[in-house]
Structure 1
Amino acid sequence: MTSNSDFNEINEAKACMDNIYDQADPRPYFRELKKLGYAIPNEAKPVFQRLIDHLQQRQEGAVKLLDLGCSYGVNSAILKHDLSMSELYQHWGQKRTTDETPKENVEYHKRFFANLDGPETIEVIGLDVAENAVSFAEDIGLLDKGLTCNLEAQPVPASAEEELAAVDLVTSTGCVGYITEKSFDHLLPTITRGRQPWIANFVLRMFPFDTIEESLSRFGYVTEKYEGQTYVQRDFASTEERDQVLARLSDEGIDATGKEADGELLAEFYLSRPEKEAAELPIERLFAA
């Protein structure tokens, strides 16, 4: 079983981007992501769309999605406006006037996304510790609601409990490792007050999922891994990062041949659902063509 100290040790293998993750202007962050070929939102898009379509068929109204580690609302932009990472990189890479005020910057991006067509079938709540990133995503309309809190250290804020209790789908595309079972232990009592939402996590292969899976099981969830499938997170930031990650994978008994050894961080997909729903529609059938 993996402990929090284990997660901290494993995380040290990854390149740190804390200095650009929480700025008022997202452009430095996206420039760095582009350099690294950051691709996981693209990889996750068809998976999330399949889940959203299935959930939409069984209910009226929009599917309410909680995106953990939402940063500047990347997953929301891709799902709500049918965008790709390439299109987002192009948008965030535009050169703007240096004398532009923060308010003018927000208004420009707000108009851009407001003018895009998009499905009216989802509402997105974003949760992250990065206050500036969440506020920006909320201000420009990518998030219907933004929440800033550290679930590793504190419970769900009372002011957010009612809204989170109505969530249909919880997603993450890279925050497991930064968050552990502590976050899920704080989150699960709130989101399972009504119906139990589906919980969809893309997890880097070097991060064990066992402790989070155990927390989920205490709330009646069955977790399935989409066996045989891997998803590109991004390129390695340096030779040092590559060597450290490969060493960590080896320590975990995971063969990186033909995978991370070829130069990219890879994730796997875990879907957690109530036991009855998982039994009625196993993950292989859910994603069958």
Structure 2
Amino acid sequence: MNAEKSYEDINASKANMDHIYNQSDPRAYFSELKKLDYAIPQIAKPVFQKLIRYLQRRRDDTLHVLDLGCSYGVNAALLKHELSLKDLYAHWGQKSLTEATSQEVIEKDQRFFANLDAPENIEVIGLDQAEHAIEFAEDIGLLDEGLAVNLENDALPAQACETLASVNLVTSTGCVGYVTEKSFDQLLPAVTQGRPPWIANFVLRMFPFDAIEESLNDWGYVTEKLESRTFYQRRFATKDERDQALESMTERGVEPSPKEREGQLLAEFYLSRPARDAAEMPIERLFPA
């Protein structure tokens, strides 16, 4: 089955978040996702932190992270600061912000994040097609640079290539399925100009990863899945969303787990690295059971 077609079909069965994904501030986005117990950025945080610490031991300067599907800079907020997703739900859900304009939210957030603990020694580049979300994350200082582009349809801007040459780690927590091998085919020449970065993807179990893995293989990457572990993303929005997701999994030969049948949307973790790095530290040694 063609991967692009399967992505399109599977996405048609998912809850549609388009109406909240690209607003001028994240209040509506967090309000809706809180109802679904959206948790994957928090679940992914210690995994990404471990990769960051490992990579930082190999270098003396700032580590550069490219977050795919970054939206409002949520992963950046969690990785740069001692914050939890619960903290962000509380922050953007405060009653005092109910009547605030987006500009007032931006001004308050600039002060809020500037007054937190000193951020980790990382810089985060965000890539997403949601230009308003990118702009917000840049304005409040969560993203050091934002790239608002849809690489499924548009070319990577020439000026972005120099920025992406410094990337040491690529992360994603749910964009695979909206993003296909087309985006990776555009990104890989840019991010591998120097030492190729590690690429860490949390992928919903309903989506195939094969085509992206093949693209990565063409650039000398070895992809490992963290076996026997799944990661909670959120609750299914409706019974219909659950049923169609389970059907998609079954059609691909993936056996739905009891948790999925009970209503949990689960992801798996894939780590893609240059062959030498993968041989030196297999994924199961990086993340022992």
Q: Same fold (TM over 0.5)?
A: yes
Secondary structure at the aligned position of 1:269 is classed as strand
Most deviating of 1-10 and 213-222 = 1-10
Conserved 8 A contact 2:173-2:203: yes
Secondary structure at the aligned position of 2:106 is classed as helix
Conserved 8 A contact 1:154-1:186: no
Secondary structure at the aligned position of 2:258 is classed as coil
Aligned identity (percent) is: 64
Give the distance between the partners of 2:104 and 2:97, measured in 1 at CA: 10
Q: Does 1:33 align with 2:33?
A: yes
Q: How far has the Cα of 1:82 moved from its partner?
A: 2.0
Secondary structure at the aligned position of 1:146 is classed as strand
Conserved 8 A contact 2:45-2:79: yes
Secondary structure at the aligned position of 2:65 is classed as strand
Conserved 8 A contact 1:2-1:210: no
Unpaired segments ≥5 residues, structure 2: none
Give the distance between the partners of 2:78 and 2:25, measured in 1 at CA: 19
* 1:117 alignment partner in structure 2: 117
Secondary structure at the aligned position of 2:161 is classed as helix
Most deviating of 94-103 and 237-246 = 94-103
Q: Does 1:77 align with 2:81?
A: no
Give the distance between the partners of 1:49 and 1:104, measured in 2 at CA: 32
- The amino acid across from 2:165 in the alignment is A
CA, structure 1 residues 97+256, in 2 after alignment: closer, same or farther (shift >3 Å)?
A: closer
Q: How far has the Cα of 1:3 moved from its partner?
A: 2.4
Conserved 8 A contact 1:66-1:171: yes
Conserved 8 A contact 1:231-1:267: yes
Give the distance between the partners of 2:163 and 2:43, measured in 1 at CA: 28
Over residues 227-259 of structure 1, what are the superposed CA-to-partner deviations in whole Å (9 max), with x where a residue is unaligned? Answer: 011000000101111111111111111111313
Secondary structure at the aligned position of 2:95 is classed as coil
Q: Does 1:239 align with 2:223?
A: no
* 1:4 alignment partner in structure 2: 4
CA, structure 1 residues 193+97, in 2 after alignment: closer, same or farther (shift >3 Å)?
A: closer
Q: Does 1:172 align with 2:198?
A: no
Matches within 5 A, 1:59-138: 59-96=59-96, 100-138=100-138
Give the distance between the partners of 1:18 and 1:214, measured in 2 at CA: 29
* 1:45 alignment partner in structure 2: 45
Secondary structure at the aligned position of 1:89 is classed as helix
Conserved 8 A contact 1:82-1:118: no
Give the distance between the partners of 2:183 and 2:98, measured in 1 at CA: 39
Q: How far has the Cα of 1:2 moved from its partner?
A: 4.1
Conserved 8 A contact 2:30-2:89: yes
TM-score of the two chains, using structure 1 as the length reference: 0.97
CA, structure 1 residues 101+263, in 2 after alignment: closer, same or farther (shift >3 Å)?
A: closer
Secondary structure at the aligned position of 1:12 is classed as helix
CA, structure 1 residues 99+12, in 2 after alignment: closer, same or farther (shift >3 Å)?
A: closer
Moved over 6 A (4+): none
* 2:257 alignment partner in structure 1: 257
Give the distance between the partners of 1:2 and 1:41, measured in 2 at CA: 29
- The amino acid across from 1:188 in the alignment is L
- The amino acid across from 1:253 in the alignment is G
- The amino acid across from 1:272 in the alignment is S
Give the distance between the partners of 1:130 and 1:217, measured in 2 at CA: 29
* 2:190 alignment partner in structure 1: 190
Over residues 189-221 of structure 1, what are the superposed CA-to-partner deviations in whole Å (9 max), with x where a residue is unaligned? Answer: 110011100000000001010000000000000
Give the distance between the partners of 2:98 and 2:51, measured in 1 at CA: 42
CA RMSD of aligned residues (A): 1.3
CA, structure 1 residues 99+37, in 2 after alignment: closer, same or farther (shift >3 Å)?
A: closer
Q: How far has the Cα of 1:280 moved from its partner?
A: 0.9
Give the distance between the partners of 2:60 and 2:97, measured in 1 at CA: 44
Secondary structure at the aligned position of 1:65 is classed as strand
Give the distance between the partners of 1:151 and 1:79, measured in 2 at CA: 25
Number of paired residues?
289
Secondary structure at the aligned position of 1:248 is classed as helix
Secondary structure at the aligned position of 2:276 is classed as helix
Secondary structure at the aligned position of 1:259 is classed as helix
Give the distance between the partners of 1:63 and 1:78, measured in 2 at CA: 15
Give the distance between the partners of 2:199 and 2:119, measured in 1 at CA: 21
Q: Does 1:277 align with 2:283?
A: no
Give the distance between the partners of 2:228 and 2:253, measured in 1 at CA: 17
Most deviating of 152-161 and 270-279 = 152-161
Q: Does 1:267 align with 2:279?
A: no
